[in-house]
Amino acid sequence: MKGEFKKYSLIFKRPAGTSRGTLLQKDTYFIRIFDENKSGYGEAALFKGLSAEDVPGYEEKLDWALDNLDLPREELFEQLKDFSSIIFGLEQAFLSFQAEDTFLLYPSEFTEGKKSIPINGLVWMGPKDFMFEQIKQKIEEGYGVIKLKIGAIDFQDELDLLKYIRSQFSPGEIEIRVDANGAFSPREALEKLKRLSDFQIHSIEQPIKAGQWEEMVRLCEQTPLPVALDEELIGISFDADKEAVLAQIRPQYIILKPALHGGFIGSDSWIQAAEKLGIGWWITSALESNTGLNAIAQYTANKKVKIPQGLGTGSLFTNNFDSPLYINKGALHFNPVKKMEFSLFKD
């Protein structure tokens, strides 16, 4: 078996604002593994500026992985434990290679078009008027859960947006999640969480920057609303460390991005550790193309999830690949008649 990769730049339809800055494009890597008879494909979705593996030598490590595809799978992934997105891409490629249908990785009622996955509607940071228009649009599109990126504009303006939603819709009608991406300082975080809780928020994602464990422990103990960890989990690859982190911090939720949290095998171990401690979880995408999103959606559907997930990012890019995935009334659906259009590699 042989392998190759190609780098690809996904271009945002409009700038995507976060507390870490504004995104105009997102680079990713596509993998092809093949023999003389067939090919399998995956997306190694490196997230520059966020992934623990965003270090010099990433492409060399990807080359190494593709030169060593004949290693036992466990040994190969052990050698790649610090390169989460490469594991994620290889998992897809191996499943794709073995599948009868190249992009049907986890067959289920979802891929048969019989069931859908509830998702949140994502509202990006920007001027207050821009965020207001996004909120109105998501509600009109039928989303029952709105997730707002916060922390980049004036906090009072963000509270005003939340006040608007609650003036129009009760918590039973619209669930609100917020994602601070570590924007709050430990000193101010608890007070801001108290003010946010006035609007009956479902949860806040990563209120302070990752790595401040003592402060995060204290915040999770005292918080008036549920805290969900995201960036805090990045770069932790050993099962014992995962259990130790969750046992120490005791968040109410964790949020899993397979490309950042050890692929599907890594996400499975995070879920096992969380459930052992009674911690909730959900799965989100990390700005992958529709190729990676297709894999994550199929994986998620097999988990028989009941709460809304974060899988609505496929429509963000101008040069994405057409896929069987589509969104309708706040849920992600799969059209079993439509095929993934993916032609980066010439077999």
pTM of the model: 0.94
> 257 an active-site residue?
yes
Which of 138, 147, 192, 257 does the annotation list as catalytic? 257
Share of the chain above pLDDT 90, in %: 81
Give the tens place of pLDDT for each residue, 90-124: 999 999 999 999 999 999 999 999 999 999 999 88
Give the tens place of pLDDT for each residue, 39-88: 999 999 998 888 889 889 999 999 999 999 999 999 999 999 999 999 99
Least confident of 7-21, 175-189, 246-260, 263-277: 7-21
> 163 an active-site residue?
no
Task: Give residues with Cβ within 8 angstroms of 293, minimum separation 6.
Answer: 285, 311, 313, 314, 323, 325
Q: Which domains can be identified in the chain, with CATH numbers?
A: 2-98 (3.30.390.10), 117-334 (3.20.20.120)
Which of 138, 147, 149, 209 does the annotation list as catalytic? 149
Report the pLDDT value the prediction gives residue 26, as an integer from 0 to 100.
92
Asked whether residue 347 carries a pLDDT value surpassing 60, the answer given is: no
Q: Please state, in angstroms and as integers, the Cα–Cα distance from residue 128 to each residue in 25, 189, 285, 308, following that order.
A: 23, 21, 25, 25
Give me the numbers of helices (H) and strands (E) for the chain, helices first please. Answer: 10, 13
Least confident of 15-19, 168-172, 191-195: 15-19
